[in-house]
Structure 1
Amino acid sequence: MSDAIKQATLEYVTRLGDDSVVLGHRISEWVSYGPFLEEDIAYGNVALDYIGRARMYYSYAAELADDGRTEDDFAYMRSDRDYRNMLLMEMPRGDFAYSQVRQLLADAYATVMLPELVKSKDQTIAAVAAKAIKETKYHLRRSRDWVLRLGDGTEESHQRTQKAVDQLWGYTHELFDMDETEQLLADNGIGVDVSKLRDAWHAMVSEILTTATLTVPDDSWAVRGGRTGYHTENLGHMLTEMQIVHRSHPGCQW
């Protein structure tokens, strides 16, 4: 592995870890606040899937960096400007409809991206993707069912769900952006050219939203910046909470 490919791979798996840990933490914020017990359990399980995924990506990042850092350093010892997660993942918990719509958008993305990532020539990345595919099938089934139930439910649930779709849609364009790092890895069979996946994602999401009697928004606005370290204020607040214990007791291990 050349130095350029190794550095790009380090950046790539760190990004994937950031997406996973941030969304996993957001999902975990529903534990004990779900509408009923089964949802508390479901939220906890989905959050653990994402946190487990982040651990695998960060562990591989630490191996590639080979500078003494561990997976904990990647998760707990970086500031918001160092994080490279997509903005969709860091948006606040919101109400139940908001979280379920965000989850649907993310699950549909994972559904079209992971089958391509599992083809990676990097065996570690491919192995993580293979495990995540199994989890994502459950995640998508759950988020799809909830969006259908909420969108085609009461007048209030419909309005809240449509509002969430409208508020989150502009953050989805970033899911399919490519920069030099990702293009280099895609060209070398390690990463995924996500720019080619938007049509499949859009068709999947549109079918679900239409079935739920929801309106698919137009593409009149878009927000980007997560991959270059420019985030909303929401991430800083979230990391403060997520990192406080580790930063208060540096060097401790559990």
Structure 2
Amino acid sequence: MHVLVLGGTTEARLLAERLVGGEPAVRVTTSLAGRVASPRFLPGEVRVGGFGGGDGLAAWMREHRVDALIDATHPFAATMSRNAAEAAVRAHVPLLALRRPGWVAQDGDRWHPAGSLAEAAELLPALGERVFLTTGRMGLAAFAYQEELWFLVRSVDAPEQPCPPRTEVLLDRGPFDVAGERELIRRHRIDVLVTKDSGGDATAPKLAAAREAGIPVVVVRRPPVPEGVPVARTPDEAVQWVRTRYASG
């Protein structure tokens, strides 16, 4: 059984490890978009680069005889998820979305929800002047017009232009810990945090550090999974889905 995993997340890597290590009847190919310069090692087969939209993905799956497709991309990779849903229908391949649960506010949190990066940028002037921006290297154009605010931008690779004029870039890769996030907020005098609701444990310590510091957090809501696509919350749930597909032929 050939399973294509659309990867780029910790969950995708864990899924590949479980399938390759524990399911000898399953062949695994993980596809990466190629946006990270030095991705971590992945077991099984790996391909890098885009497919050319839903049509290209469907053609690739037909050519390589893919039996099941798992969308384990980042919760905010909405375009790729739409392409996966379209391709699955065209190629007649069953599709599963693997999505880690989103974060939940706790006592003491000062969260301000936003529907997009643009909406998040609009909220900032009323909340603070020194912004810890942890939304990744893409999409910074939404904040570029905020000339009066200072931004600390953290990402794995160098961010794309345009960026806000008053920006300091911090290149780093999680997981992070609360002590490190606490020191980062203190050293840079951060008074507002911006994050996407990515979920998971790797980058959650910044939320705890912001709660301790009493600073507001702008949380960008994640886009919905395409309608009709079943969702697994953990790699183990996705493995069980694969087993069920294999057992059913």
TM-score by length of 1: 0.25
The structure that has the greater radius of gyration is 2
Q: Which structure carries more helix by proportion?
A: 1
Task: Please identify which structure carries the higher strand content.
Answer: 2
Q: TM-score, normalised by structure 2?
A: 0.26
- Greater relative CO (CA pairs within 8 A, separation 6+): 1
